Amino acid sequence: MATPLRQFNTALYSEHLDDASFLYDQRMAYLRDPEVNWPDLRAWEARREAHVDALVLGGDLAVGVCMKRAAAGDPGDAYAAVCVLCRHNRKDSVFAVLGAVDTANDELVRAVALALCHEAPSAWRDDLAGALQNETRLAPLLGLVMGYRRIPAEDLLRRTLTQDLPVGRSTLAWALGRVGTPASVPALSSVLDGNDEALSEAAAIALMRVKARTPLAVALDAAESRAWAKRVLAIGGNNRVVRVLLNLVRNGQADANAVLALGLLGDLSAVAPLLDLLENDALVEPAATALNVITGARLHSKVFVPDTFDPDEFFGRERAAYEKDGTLPTRHGQPFGNWERRPLRDKQAWRAWLDENKHHFSRELRWRMGKPYGPSALVECLACESSPYAVREATCEELVVRYRLDVPFEIELPVARQLRVLETLEAWAASHSADFAEGQWYFAGELQS
């Protein structure tokens, strides 16, 4: 029979796990939130760490609580529990969780993978590789870990990628972009232009990271119809890509991916068309984001985002008013919703800023954050606290694809680690400043025509 003290401690550790789980969920929810500056995630991470640390100090009793909830289906529980098990070096327990994890639950898979990315002891590298070799259903989980941790298992990843797996091939391709060499080009090329959007994009970026130019031609041919192609062209394309994307804008065929790609490419010929898109309700936000990316103006405004409602949850009078003329509930006469920061959508305000600052720019160069495009400007974009997730994600890839950055970096690293690595990136950019002409087009460290 459990003693009162044991019961108390068990309840206490369960509460710590609940809190750690909640904080994991909040951090993941805010990760891509345009209202949240990425360094602000550090506060959520620090609070989560306090609860994880308490569970680690709880010894075997806390480990038992974690084991019971690690693979039960809640991503936050799984993340915190696997972190605790890793810190206790409970390899057998962690691999028991891997054996039981529901790989159809994408959020659970990602949570367990991130815990291993952040906490798995380096001595487990061979065991993780062996698990992928023996159980390919874990490809979406272990592929993320192996790429994130830069585990040198290129041959294994390549062989597994070429198998007919139901899930996980895009993650394996992504991982090969982190640990692969030109030897992986044939395997990545074989999955480049299929019907799987995520796989095509991951394979294309991986190919560019290992210096292959072939995906650019494929992406250029697919630019009108495939979203992944536009994202890939933004990372590795040249001035010809700008012309193709501007034609899509002129013909009314552009989507948000094409518009953001123009911002990332940084050619000033895109500025006037982007200004015109500020009058296009469907594309106003990516257009404003693209303008900020090129100019570094950091112009933002507050936009009211109304809450969404399920009419089945309305009370009687609310339901009657809604069914009569679409009237939605209000709070003291004001609609429910939040004011959120968004890139400035006011065309006249943008024109005024551009008129005042146009003398800083030259059409002979490409631009990022108001500076001639180059390693230093890209690192500044990564470090900028208000850079959106999609911009930072692309920028991270651009540094490798265009300038052969050899410092491992991922934008989903914990904030404290990101800040440390960013200092290394700033030093790297400074030391390579003489190697590249600012504002020019590069691929794999070589100047493009």
Residue by residue, DSSP assigns 261-320 as: HHHHHTBGGGHHHHHHHTT-TTTHHHHHHHHHHHH----EEEEEEEPP--GGG--HHHHH
> What gap in Å lies between CA 49 and CA 46, rounded to an integer?
5
User: What digits encode the pLDDT tens for the residues 398-431?
Assistant: 999 999 999 999 999 999 999 999 999 999 999 9
Beta-bridge mates of residue 330: 335
Mean pLDDT is lowest, of 52-66, 275-289, 315-329, for 315-329
In 3-state terms, what secondary structure has residue 335? strand
CA distance 223 to 21: 41
Asked whether the beta carbons of 171 and 153 are under 8 A apart, the reply is: no
List the structure tokens of 433: 């400043």
Interatomic CA distance for residues 264 and 256, integer angstroms: 12
- Quick check: 314 pLDDT over 80? no
Rounded to the nearest angstrom, the gap between the alpha carbon of residue 32 and the centroid of all alpha carbons in its chain is 8
| pLDDT average, residue stretch 391-399 | 98
Out of 9-13, 168-172, 291-295, which region has the weakest mean confidence (pLDDT)?
Answer: 9-13
pLDDT at 191: 95
Cβ-based neighbour number of residue 281 at 10 Å: 8
pLDDT, residue 407, reads 95
Q: Residue 318 and residue 322: Cα distance in Å, rounded?
A: 6
CA distance 79 to 184: 32
Give the domain ranges of the chain. 1-120
Cβ(329)–Cβ(348) below 8 Å: no
Q: Look up residue 388 and give its amino acid.
A: P
197 CB contacts (<8 Å, ≥6 apart)?
A: 226, 227, 228
Percent of the residues in the chain that have a pLDDT greater than 70, as a whole number: 92
% of the chain at pLDDT higher than 90: 83
Confidence of residue 312 (pLDDT cuts 50, 70, 90): low
